[in-house]
Amino acid sequence: MKVQFQGKEVNIKKIGILTGGGDCAGHNAVIYGLLRRINQANHTLPKEEQMELWGLLEGWKSLTRNPETEKDKIMVKLTTTDLKDSYKVSGTIIQSSRTNLFSKANLEAKAPEKAMENVKKLGLDCLVVLGGDDTLGAAGKLGKQFTFPMFGAPKTMDNDVFGTERTYGFDSAVEESVHFIENIMTTVRSHKRCFVIELMGRHAGWVALYAGIAGGADLVLLPEEVVDIRQVIKKVEKAMAFQGYCTIVVSEGAHLFSKSYPQDVNDSNKKLLDEVLADSKYALVKARHSLPKKLDSFGNEQLGGIGEYIFSILEKHTKGIEYRLQNCGHAIRGGRAHVSDRILGLRFGDAIFDFMLDGKFGTYPGLEANQIVPRDLLEVKGGAFIPEDNQLFKMKDAVDFY
């Protein structure tokens, strides 16, 4: 299909599409939404302009492989048969990875240059990149550095990419989290216990906020707030006195210490944690606490474990309450794709084709007032945090209303 790119007419025939970073619901819907438009356009395009959609396997990792010896590991042609029902489920049929072409090691190894050499060897005329701010940021850099036609689509179950009011993957993660919380609630009430449930959510606590409120949690702890364990203890004791049980939902990105916290909160939290670490009963907590933090290829700390800290501190510093810890983990990424994620993914894929027709390269679709608008890949970033004036923020702790 002939379109305008950088003021010149180009013939886009072979389109590559990849998914990077964590999997989530909606990836397959974006792919199918784009393929539908390609198929539709091919009905009227001359043969020399007809398009094909090729899935690049395992995200950016595909472009680090040798096209001459590993082509079957790099890409696969996508058809309606492949995608007809796939958009109804989570995950990605073309697989994913957390490969950072712009890491220090990869820059020294000239990975971006090699990736674009491979793009040419594979005969690709355009790349469509689905992912969060790290993956989309890499797409923007490559597109600019090598003047190559590039598009993106914003995914993340965390719902924290700027430029869109919602990312696909979020609603499905919330739905699965609520299901998890409600199942746990059966045991919570039957045995009159206090459960600490850790949910995914790196720097933004949208999933924990929505799921905690919708699932009926008594307390919700978020990365965006000051977590004062003294206040958490008071609220737990209030819930137990009021109803005999308690459920705490904590986002994995919540923390006990921060430079932004008041000093007395940091000091108090440290004192309470130190007493846990000094108790031989919590030797495993102490051992994990002493391990160095792991980073992914983009330099992000691999989170997980705040729930164990909260659980241990509460168990150590309260009396007469039986506690349990549950980490929902990756389970909330999977299952059936929520209807809203299916629709949003299909809309994003459809919009990418429109952007291509209009020559709006170097963009990704964002949702604004229920309209799809083009956003600049070079301006993408994460950190769409929950603002303090958000209505749900003040509603999140049900125990405040007991």
Distance between CA 17 and CA 52 in Å, rounded?
11
Letter string b/e over residues 383-393, b meaning 16 or more CB atoms within 10 A of that residue's CB: ebebeeeeeeb
* φ, ψ of residue 5 in degrees (nearest 5): -135, 120
Beta-carbon contacts of 261 under 8 Å, excluding residues fewer than 6 positions away, are 226
Q: Are strands 75-77 and 52-56 parallel, antiparallel or unpaired?
A: antiparallel
Q: How many CB atoms lie within 10 A of CB 217?
A: 29
Cα-trace Rg, the chain? 23
- Return the bridge partners of 5, or none: 8
How many other CB atoms are there within 10 angstroms of residue 85's CB atom?
A: 10
Distant-in-sequence, close-in-space partners of 184: CB < 8 Å, separation ≥ 6:
195, 197, 247, 326
The helix/strand/coil state of 122 is coil
Q: Which of 134, 158, 218, 341 is catalytic?
A: 158
Point out which residues pair with 387 in neighbouring strands. none
Backbone angles phi, psi at 229, to 5 degrees: -60, -30
Note if 218 is an active site residue: no
Which residue, 6, 168, 145, 31, is CA-closest to 86?
31
Q: List Cβ neighbours of 43 (8 Å cut-off, separation of 6 or more).
A: none
Secondary structure class of 318 (helix, strand, coil): coil
Helix (H) and strand (E) counts in the chain: 13, 13
Paired tokens of 391: 């209505």
Of 160, 157, 135, the closest CA to residue 382 belongs to: 160
Q: Which residues are catalytic?
A: 158
